[in-house]
């Protein structure tokens, strides 16, 4: 009709058509109601004119100049069925005649070029704006089927989930009232009036550092241990950590009064530890004073105890009345205040970490408090609050159930569990064909349900698959027709039709669109006796594509969402910057355990690296690009699943598996941790992809060391084997029994284009006996005049790769993914060298700088073949466009020059072998390193 022909964009009001059983026919007859006198104004809350046989439920659309949102569709459903607030964009006359609403999400419809038949089938189109140009089907359903909790009338609405802009860490500092309530030392008004402030006896207020002194730290985590003396509790140990987890201060303190009880169970202090200790409280406080300033954020758990422990009769120039304190006991409030959660409880719950098992370790406690604070900073102020009924979004089904309405959901099982709960009936459908049949059957039932929901996913899935295969759109018409038939089947079910079953199996289209289709069907009530044909009203809404994400770089990332697990590590950090600079949307997930290893084992990187938070902030300053940072453990599925669902990555780069040797060779505990981290973390990742985004592309990194040293050529992933007359292609056997998408060789190099943009972005340079590579160790030894230590005969051969090629290889893998269900394996290296070859090359480069390099063979602490055949294949990445950097192209010269410039940071004890693979435990070299001053 002319009324229906009006486009939504005209700004005029238009009316949806009435649909009957003529859906089965190509011709559509629309009943024109006879003109009637203006009815009397109905009583408030009652429908108008619902008694006669010509009465119809009419819909008047008012989209005006702004597109309708998903919440507006939701409000329409609630208004019709639950008497909620009337939506502005739509009005329903005689809505009492509407006993049922059918909501059908048909993912993949193109708003710009919908199939012509849908205009007849669905009625007047209404533009509905998606939340983003990369919206996935599950996000559309979540927005429609869950309700934001209503905030109380008093005060602003509470934040839900992770806020778009995280507040500054300083916003978590205790208020003056909180400090007073919890017994923190505070300044007081001086006696005699005048408004002057003074501090309690034995304390000193925070003050600025003296001229010429080192600037104070921005954040310090503090923990103190005490023992019982004749005068009460006195300090016995003080520990301070920096924002990156680095150990700033660890001092044992000799009490001034006789010790009555060391309370070892709670303090970890034994009489033997205090033997010979001459450091007094004033000395420890003076050292701590150099780290603190008036603006320093002091992180502690129940920090009032730590500050009171630093009280003395003489001040020693240190500031222990501090105004900027972040107390993790209050940062994560107990569900039943004024009780406070123990640090070990918070560490177990939020960090999945066991602490204080046998006794207290102040370094361990300070790190737990620090990590809890950093976790809070990264997740927002609502994270870690006690659970409450309003902590999660409510279900639409629950709201309808509360209004006395019944609901039926036709969908796959996972979606049913997520959105239906206990408030409705669920009908499981394995594919679109089954969903269409079951929806039609449910829609044809008289009376109930009042709300029927279903999804058709096949078109979108085929679009995604087709886009990845770039196979053309010749068969797209078949897929669109299949979807149209299924839409028709559901519509026919609403009016009692019984059509032939639609064709099963969806085919492919060329490109994926972030669009969805929505059909709302309503059936007349009590009209069958008066009219031979049931009256059914349809409203359709096809989402207009939201504006695409703005390009932040002249690159080819085009906003592709990439999650990098282990993004604070050597390879992960360089990869994150490389992809971010090229327009990818990057999210780093890291538990920062690599930094913990350095502290546990007394190791240090030659390059002073900033904390991950400072790194990310500096990158934003330098490049103008944002990297999402999530600090947490991949082995914690609750944390990772929420992070995965929130970011919804299109690709995941998995650097989170740590290399086994030599770390796992230290002892059984380190071996078990390595297996737990690598196996459980990867399982969690695979389940998250399976459950939340099966189309996500996984780029998983292993090491070439997993192949071992076979006496045959190492193929890329697969090997054709003939055995007993039968031939098959099998995964190439690996030593650890594992299999990876991408196996990298030994990666070397310090600089990439991005890591050299600012000193705060520089990458790690490990040269120690546990995490350092032979090449890094040789370069450091040459720079400081130490003989190059070749383990054994030096014939051990491996593949090597420049860090600049590593990041490029990962980008290639993302840009050119495997087909759905396909697993490809790339051997990621560019050159092969033996240990003797590396020593020779470093010696040659050293001579260019005037360094006389000596080579010395030492007993091999590793269990490995020292002379062997090694020929690994590496052609696939070059075929995809990799142009490698070679070791001989002056890279050793640049590395050697850098190390020579920074050789004053080299700790000689670290360049010796630390772990003997033949023995359990750590050698004396590492034990010495753990306690040696830096």
d(CA 123, CA 136): 25
Q: Indicate the pLDDT class of residue 360, thresholds 50, 70 and 90.
A: confident
Q: Indicate the pLDDT class of residue 262, thresholds 50, 70 and 90.
A: confident
* Sequence-separated contacts (24+) of 159-166 with Cβ below 8 Å: 159/380, 159/381, 159/382, 160/382, 160/393, 161/380, 161/382, 161/646, 162/379, 162/380, 162/383, 162/646, 163/380, 163/381, 163/382, 166/377, 166/378, 166/380
Classified as helix, coil or strand, 743 is: strand
Asked whether residue 494 is assigned to any structural domain, the reply reads: no
What is the mean predicted confidence (pLDDT) over 546-552? 34
d(CA 741, CA 794): 30
DSSP string for residues in 57-118 = -EEEE--TTS-EEHHHHHHHHHHHHH--PPPSSEEEETGGG---EEEEEEET--SSS--HHH
How high is the mean pLDDT of the chain? 74
Helix, strand, coil percent values for the chain (each to nearest 5): 35, 20, 50
What is the mean predicted confidence (pLDDT) over 635-654? 93
Q: Is the distance from CB of 220 to CB of 173 less than 8 angstroms?
A: no
715 compared with 815, residue with greater pLDDT = 815
- Residue 313 clears pLDDT 70, i.e. is over it: no
pLDDT tens for each residue of 752-800 = 889 989 999 999 999 988 888 889 999 999 999 999 999 999 998 888 8
Q: What are phi and psi of 800, to 5 degrees?
A: -130, 150
What are the structure tokens assigned to 19, written together? 């649909």
Asked whether residue 396 is assigned to any structural domain, the reply reads: no
- Residue 801 clears pLDDT 90, i.e. is over it: no
d(CA 138, CA 140): 5
Q: What is the CATH number of the domain that holds 365?
A: 3.30.420.10
At which of 330, 358, 379 does a domain end? 379
Active site residues per annotation? 703, 740, 744
What is the mean predicted confidence (pLDDT) over 319-348? 81
What is the mean predicted confidence (pLDDT) over 47-63? 62
d(CA 37, CA 21): 29
Which of 543, 518, 494 is CA-nearest to residue 57?
Answer: 494
CA-CA distances (angstroms) from residue 683 to 475, 679, 689? 36, 6, 10
What is the mean predicted confidence (pLDDT) over 699-724? 80
CA-CA distances (angstroms) from residue 180 to 45, 319, 323, 918? 54, 18, 11, 57
pLDDT of residue 301: 92
Asked whether residue 135 is assigned to any structural domain, the reply reads: no
pLDDT of residue 37: 47
pLDDT of residue 930: 40
655 compared with 179, residue with greater pLDDT = 655
Q: Indicate the pLDDT class of residue 252, thresholds 50, 70 and 90.
A: very high
Q: What are phi and psi of 778, to 5 degrees?
A: -60, -40
pLDDT of residue 375: 93
Q: Which residues pair with 252 in a beta bridge?
A: 237
CB under 8 Å to 76, separation ≥6 — which residues? 87, 90, 92, 520
What are the structure tokens assigned to 336, written together? 């039943």
pLDDT of residue 556: 58
Q: Indicate the pLDDT class of residue 551, thresholds 50, 70 and 90.
A: very low
Q: What are phi and psi of 576, to 5 degrees?
A: -60, -45
Dihedral angle, C-alpha 741, 745, 749, 753, nearest 10 °: -20
What are the structure tokens assigned to 780, written together? 């450091």
Strands 718-723 and 726-731, by their bridges, are antiparallel
pLDDT of residue 222: 92
Rg over alpha carbons for the chain, rounded to the nearest Å, is 34
Asked whether residue 684 is assigned to any structural domain, the reply reads: yes
* Sequence-separated contacts (24+) of 163-166 with Cβ below 8 Å: 163/380, 163/381, 163/382, 166/377, 166/378, 166/380
What is the mean predicted confidence (pLDDT) over 547-556? 38
DSSP 678: I
pLDDT of residue 762: 93
- Residue 195 clears pLDDT 60, i.e. is over it: no
d(CA 909, CA 767): 11
Which of 16-25, 173-182, 302-311, 381-390 has the highest average model confidence (pLDDT)?
A: 173-182
- Residue 625 clears pLDDT 60, i.e. is over it: yes
427 compared with 504, residue with greater pLDDT = 427
CA-CA distances (angstroms) from residue 619 to 304, 550, 626? 36, 18, 8
Asked whether residue 663 is assigned to any structural domain, the reply reads: yes
Cβ-in-10-Å burial (0-12, 13-18, 19+) of 37 comes to exposed
The number of folded domains in the chain is 2
Asked whether residue 434 is assigned to any structural domain, the reply reads: no
CB under 8 Å to 445, separation ≥6 — which residues? none
Q: Is the distance from CB of 303 to CB of 331 less than 8 angstroms?
A: no
- Residue 318 clears pLDDT 90, i.e. is over it: no
At which of 379, 406, 435 does a domain end? 379
pLDDT tens for each residue of 842-879 = 998 888 888 999 999 999 888 888 888 888 888 877 77
What is the mean predicted confidence (pLDDT) over 902-927? 73
d(CA 104, CA 89): 20
- Residue 20 clears pLDDT 70, i.e. is over it: no
At which of 345, 379, 413 does a domain end? 379
pLDDT of residue 184: 80
206 compared with 391, residue with greater pLDDT = 206
What is the mean predicted confidence (pLDDT) over 342-350? 89
Dihedral angle, C-alpha 667, 672, 677, 683, nearest 10 °: 150
pLDDT of residue 228: 84
Q: Is the distance from CB of 597 to CB of 590 less than 8 angstroms?
A: no
pLDDT of residue 683: 93
Number of C-alpha atoms within 13 angstroms, CB side, residue 251? 21
CA-CA distances (angstroms) from residue 246 to 59, 157, 278? 65, 38, 25
Peptide bond into 662 cis (omega under 30): yes
Least confident piece of the model among 528-542, 679-693, 754-768, 848-862: 528-542
Least confident piece of the model among 58-72, 409-423, 657-671: 409-423
d(CA 583, CA 799): 30
pLDDT of residue 319: 38
- What is the extent of the structural domain holding 912? 561-931
Classified as helix, coil or strand, 523 is: strand
- Residue 508 clears pLDDT 50, i.e. is over it: no
What are the structure tokens assigned to 183, written together? 């017994």
What is the mean predicted confidence (pLDDT) over 709-723? 81
- Residue 732 clears pLDDT 60, i.e. is over it: yes
pLDDT of residue 482: 63
pLDDT tens for each residue of 580-599 = 999 999 999 999 988 888 88
What are the structure tokens assigned to 400, written together? 């309808």
pLDDT of residue 519: 32
Of all residues in the chain, what percent carry a pLDDT higher than 90? 23
Cβ-in-10-Å burial (0-12, 13-18, 19+) of 461 comes to buried
Q: Indicate the pLDDT class of residue 579, thresholds 50, 70 and 90.
A: very high
Asked whether residue 23 is assigned to any structural domain, the reply reads: no
What is the mean predicted confidence (pLDDT) over 728-750? 62
Helices (H) and strands (E) in the chain, counts: 29, 36
Asked whether residue 424 is assigned to any structural domain, the reply reads: no
Least confident piece of the model among 63-77, 227-241, 291-305, 312-326: 312-326
Longest CA span, the chain: 107
830 compared with 243, residue with greater pLDDT = 243
What is the mean predicted confidence (pLDDT) over 215-236? 87
d(CA 544, CA 879): 39
- State CA 156 to chain mean position distance: 28
What are the structure tokens assigned to 409, written together? 């959901």
Length of the chain: 934
Least confident piece of the model among 100-104, 285-289, 346-350, 917-921: 917-921
């Amino acid at each position: 009709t002319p009324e229906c022909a009006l486009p939504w964009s005209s700004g005029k009001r238009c009316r949806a058509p009435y649909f009957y059983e003529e859906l089965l026919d190509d011709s559509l007859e629309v009943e024109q109601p006879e003109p009637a006198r203006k009815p009397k104004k109905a009583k408030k809350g009652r429908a108008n004119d619902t008694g006669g046989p010509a009465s119809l439920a009419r819909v008047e659309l008012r989209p005006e100049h702004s597109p309708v949102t998903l919440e507006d569709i939701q409000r329409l459903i609630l208004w019709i069925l639950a008497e909620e607030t009337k939506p502005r964009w739509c009005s329903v006359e005689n809505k009492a005649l509407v006993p049922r609403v059918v909501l059908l999400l048909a993912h993949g419809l193109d708003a710009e070029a919908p199939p012509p038949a849908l205009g007849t089938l669905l009625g007047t189109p209404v533009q509905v704006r998606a939340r983003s140009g990369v919206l996935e089907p599950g996000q559309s359903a979540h927005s429609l089927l869950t309700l934001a909790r209503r905030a109380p009338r008093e005060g602003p609405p509470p934040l839900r989930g992770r806020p778009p802009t995280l507040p500054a860490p300083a916003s978590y500092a205790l208020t003056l009232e909180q400090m007073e309530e919890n017994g923190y030392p505070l300044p007081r008004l001086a006696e005699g009036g005048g408004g002057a402030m003074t501090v309690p006896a034995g304390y000193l207020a925070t003050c600025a550092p003296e001229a010429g002194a080192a600037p104070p730290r921005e954040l310090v985590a503090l923990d103190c241990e005490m023992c019982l003396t004749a005068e009460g509790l006195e300090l016995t140990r003080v520990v301070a950590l920096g924002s990156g987890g680095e150990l700033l201060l660890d001092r044992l303190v000799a009490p001034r009064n006789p010790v009555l009880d060391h309370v070892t169970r709670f303090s970890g202090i034994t009489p033997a530890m205090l033997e010979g200790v001459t450091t007094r409280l004033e000395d420890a406080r003076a050292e701590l004073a150099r780290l603190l300033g008036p603006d320093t954020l002091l992180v502690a758990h129940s920090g009032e105890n730590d500050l009171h422990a630093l009280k003395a009769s003489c001040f020693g120039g240190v500031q222990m009345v501090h105004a900027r304190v972040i107390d993790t006991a209050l940062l994560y409030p107990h569900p039943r205040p004024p009780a406070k959660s123990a640090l070990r409880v918070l560490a177990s719950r939020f960090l999945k970490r066991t602490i204080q098992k046998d006794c207290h370790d102040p370094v361990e406690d300070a790190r737990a408090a620090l990590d809890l604070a950093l976790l809070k900073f990264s997740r927002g102020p609502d994270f870690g609050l006690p659970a409450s009924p309003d902590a999660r979004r409510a279900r639409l089904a629950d709201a309808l159930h509360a209004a006395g309405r019944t609901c039926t959901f036709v969908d796959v099982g996972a979606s049913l569990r997520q959105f239906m709960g206990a408030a409705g009936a669920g009908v499981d459908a394995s594919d679109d064909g089954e969903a269409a049949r079951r929806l039609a059957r449910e829609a044809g039932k008289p009376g109930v349900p009042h709300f029927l929901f279903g999804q058709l996913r096949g078109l979108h899935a085929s679009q995604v698959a087709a886009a990845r295969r770039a196979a053309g759109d010749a068969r797209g018409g078949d897929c669109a027709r299949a979807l149209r038939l299924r839409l028709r089947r559901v519509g026919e079910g609403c009016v009692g039709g019984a059509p032939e079953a639609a064709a099963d199996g969806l085919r492919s289209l060329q490109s994926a669109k972030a669009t969805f289709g929505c059909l709302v069907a309503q059936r007349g009530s009590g009209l069958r006796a008066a009219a031979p044909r049931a009256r059914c009203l349809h409203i359709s809404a096809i989402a207009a594509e939201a504006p695409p994400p703005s390009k932040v770089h002249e690159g080819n990332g085009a906003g592709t969402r990439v999650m990098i697990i282990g993004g604070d590590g050597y390879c992960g950090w360089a990869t994150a910057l490389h992809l971010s600079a090229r327009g990818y949307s990057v999210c780093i997930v890291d538990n920062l355990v690599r930094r913990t290893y350095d502290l546990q084992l007394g190791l240090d990187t030659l390059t002073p690296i900033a904390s991950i938070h400072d790194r990310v902030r500096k990158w934003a300053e330098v490049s103008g690009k944002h990297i999402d940072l999530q600090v947490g453990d991949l082995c914690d599925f609750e944390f990772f699943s929420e992070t995965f669902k929130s970011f919804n990555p299109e690709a995941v780069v998995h650097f989170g598996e740590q290399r086994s040797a030599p770390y796992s060779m230290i002892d059984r505990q380190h071996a078990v941790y390595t297996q737990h981290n690598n196996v459980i973390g990867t399982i969690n990742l695979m389940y998250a992809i399976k459950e939340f985004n099966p189309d996500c592309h996984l780029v998983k990194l292993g090491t070439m060391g997993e192949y071992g040293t076979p006496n045959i050529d190492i193929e890329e992933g697969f090997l054709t084997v003939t055995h007993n007359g039968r031939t098959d292609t099998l995964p190439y056997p690996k030593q650890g029994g594992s299999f990876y998408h991408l196996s990298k060789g030994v990666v070397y190099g310090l600089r990439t284009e991005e890591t050299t943009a600012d000193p705060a972005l520089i990458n790690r340079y490990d040269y120690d006996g546990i995490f350092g590579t032979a090449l890094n160790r040789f370069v450091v030894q040459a720079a400081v005049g130490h003989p190059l230590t070749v383990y054994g005969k030096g014939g051990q051969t491996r593949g090597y790769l420049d860090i600049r090629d590593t990041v490029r290889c990962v980008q290639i893998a993302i840009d050119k993914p495997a087909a759905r269900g396909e697993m490809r394996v790339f051997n990621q290296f560019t050159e092969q060298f033996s240990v003797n070859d590396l020593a020779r090359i470093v010696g040659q480069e050293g001579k260019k700088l005037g360094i006389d390099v000596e080579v010395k063979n030492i007993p091999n602490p590793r269990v490995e073949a020292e002379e062997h055949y090694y020929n690994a294949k590496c052609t696939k990445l070059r075929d995809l466009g990799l142009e490698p950097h070679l070791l001989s192209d002056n890279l050793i010269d640049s590395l050697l020059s850098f190390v020579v410039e920074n050789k004053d940071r080299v700790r000689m004890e670290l360049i010796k072998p630390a772990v003997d693979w033949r023995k359990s435990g750590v050698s004396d070299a590492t034990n010495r390193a753990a306690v040696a001053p830096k």
